Amino acid sequence: MSNNIQSVRGMNDCLPDAADTWQAFEAIVRDWLRRYGYREMRTPILEHTGLFKRAIGEVTDIVEKEMYTFVDELNGESLALRPEGTASSVRAVIQHNLLYDGGKRLWYTGPMFRHERPQKGRYRQFHQVGVEALGFAGPDTDAELIVMCADLWRELDIAPTLQINTLGDYESRQRHRAKLIAYFEAHQDVLDEDAKRRLHSNPLRILDSKNPAMQALADNAPRLMDELDDEALAHFDAVQRLLRASGIAFEINPRLVRGLDYYNRTVFEWVTDQLGAQGTVCAGGRYDGLIGQLGGKPAPAAGFAMGIERLLALVEAGGRPLAVPAPDAYIVHAGEAAERFAWQVAAALRAAGLATVLHCGGGSFKSQMKKADASRARFALIIGDDEAVLLQVTLKPLRGTGEQTRIEVPLVIETLKNATI
């Protein structure tokens, strides 16, 4: 075991090959969001701890067990690395009064931090693309959020399945909560420690328990569905109608309660069985109370976030391979005049927008050509003193069956721009 410093457990490096794939994914995502009229917002990675306590809920796994929280020794403030992006988005929207002239469609991407037990698909630093539609009350927004996910899955050629549920509104949740507490109190002997602790503070969370010994108890618990009022039911019906009209298959899962407290009405998760235990690739729902709860003028909202690591794993498991960028040209050169000319050619190619790697460090043509191959470039540009004198370049396709040719620089640029390899 070496004593070299390693990365923090559960936090991964994104090496160049992986970063190529991430960039290709991000380009698809940016274009997809543009087509739906969403605009990017960037918020800080650190926030006041109180923001997440108030938004996500004091009695949730994230806030109780998973937040990276520390006291800023310079001023005594308690800060947290963001575990998710919704709270920060709402904080920023309130702080900058972004809803003053109506609803906003926003998205963000970046690292999130949760001190969970790392395993495949679950990391302590992971990345989300999050989408928030703020200021919109109708079921059309819920449905569109789901439809846009389906659109992205089609583009990535993956097929997670959709589960939806409704959590109703405040009053029905209070009624349900009272019934749940009475029910769980009557079955104290089956409750584990977590459940006992949450019995009075957040009984809904008990339904979310992964403890197999409590599954039957949770399955037979009073159902929120039975407490829903007409308005919430009509909202849920309308979401389903719109989904059917868009040809989106879904399953209603009454057990779907989500791990964050801010949700009401529609909640949804996109899940797959191709990734083992961590099969939720995207999740979200409506959170009509959060803006008011964080001190803003009350306004409805809904959104979702997808885990990039999990989505890319799913793409790798069978989706469409993402087109990763490669250099257009790798310039090899030997000789003094050739080197001078090679620099000029590289500058001309780059000015024309071509991705050009100029060989550094000398060596024989043979060893330089090996580097050119390894770079995955589409073409090698070979420059010896002969070529330099004539201001020409030998162009060698590194893929396909094309012939090597010796041509002037403007023609090189034209050929590279038009080449289909």
φ and ψ at residue 294, rounded to 5 degrees: -95, 10
Closer residue to ligand HAM in complex, CB, 312/412? 312
Q: Is 62 helix (H, G, I), strand (E, B) or coil?
A: helix
Residue 60 within binding range of ligand HAM, rule CB under 6 A: no
Pick the piece of the chain touching ligand HAM (CB under 6 A) from 196-204, 245-253, 284-292, 405-413. Answer: 284-292
φ and ψ at residue 402, rounded to 5 degrees: -60, 155
Q: Is 391 helix (H, G, I), strand (E, B) or coil?
A: coil
Selected from 116, 155, 194, 385, the binder of ligand HAM by CB under 6 A is 116
Selected from 54, 105, 114, 359, the binder of ligand HAM by CB under 6 A is 114
Report, in Å, the least distance between residue 133 CB and ligand HAM. 9
Helices (H), 246-332: 290-293, 308-316
Report, in Å, the least distance between residue 60 CB and ligand HAM. 10
Residue 57 within binding range of ligand HAM, rule CB under 6 A: no
Distance CA 330, CA 122 (A): 39
Selected from 305, 346, 381, 413, the binder of ligand HAM by CB under 6 A is 305
- Residues numbered 315 to 374 that lie near ligand HAM (CB under 6 A) are none
Selected from 132, 169, 328, 387, the binder of ligand HAM by CB under 6 A is 132
Q: For residue 284, what are its two tokens?
A: 């979200």
Report, in Å, the least distance between residue 121 CB and ligand HAM. 6
Judge contact between 254 and 267, C-beta under 8 A. Answer: no
Q: What is the per-residue DSSP string for 327-359? A: -SEEEEE-SHHHHHHHHHHHHHHHHTT--EEEP
Burial classification of residue 230, based on how many CB atoms lie within 10 Å of its CB (0-12 exposed, 13-18 middle, 19 or more buried): exposed
Selected from 281, 332, 338, 393, the binder of ligand HAM by CB under 6 A is 281
264-271 and 280-286 strand pairing: antiparallel
Residue 304 within binding range of ligand HAM, rule CB under 6 A: yes
Report, in Å, the least distance between residue 11 CB and ligand HAM. 11
Residue nearest to ligand HAM (CB): 307
Q: Is 200 helix (H, G, I), strand (E, B) or coil?
A: coil
Report, in Å, the least distance between residue 108 CB and ligand HAM. 10
Closer residue to ligand HAM in complex, CB, 80/329? 80
Q: Could you tell me the CA-to-CA distances from 222 to 140, 142, 207, 226 in Å, in that order?
A: 29, 26, 10, 8
Report, in Å, the least distance between residue 124 CB and ligand HAM. 7
Residue 122 within binding range of ligand HAM, rule CB under 6 A: yes
Q: Could you tell me the CA-to-CA distances from 192 to 26, 209, 215 in Å, in that order?
A: 42, 10, 12
Q: Name which of 117, 100, 229, 254 is nearest 174 in CA terms.
A: 229
Integer distance in angstroms from the first to the last C-alpha of the chain?
A: 45
Selected from 303, 330, 331, 398, the binder of ligand HAM by CB under 6 A is 303
Total of chain residues touching ligand HAM, rule CB under 6 A: 27
Distance CA 329, CA 378 (A): 6
Residue 160 within binding range of ligand HAM, rule CB under 6 A: no
Residue 280 within binding range of ligand HAM, rule CB under 6 A: yes
- Residues numbered 67 to 106 that lie near ligand HAM (CB under 6 A) are 84-86
Closer residue to ligand HAM in complex, CB, 117/366? 117
Residue 135 within binding range of ligand HAM, rule CB under 6 A: no
Residue 307 within binding range of ligand HAM, rule CB under 6 A: yes
Pick the piece of the chain touching ligand HAM (CB under 6 A) from 38-46, 126-134, 199-207, 339-347. Answer: 126-134
Residue 283 within binding range of ligand HAM, rule CB under 6 A: yes
Residue 282 within binding range of ligand HAM, rule CB under 6 A: yes
Query: What DSSP character marks residue 295?
Result: T
Residue 123 within binding range of ligand HAM, rule CB under 6 A: yes
Helices (H), 251-316: 290-293, 308-316
Bridge partners, residue 113, by sequence: 125
Residue 52 within binding range of ligand HAM, rule CB under 6 A: no
Residue 272 within binding range of ligand HAM, rule CB under 6 A: no
List the strands of the sheet with 39-40, edge to edge. Answer: 39-40, 104-113, 125-134, 301-307, 280-286, 264-271, 161-166, 251-252
Judge contact between 121 and 276, C-beta under 8 A. Answer: yes
Sites of contact with ligand HAM (CB under 6 A): 84-86, 114, 116, 121-123, 126, 128, 130, 132, 259, 280-285, 287, 303-307, 309-310
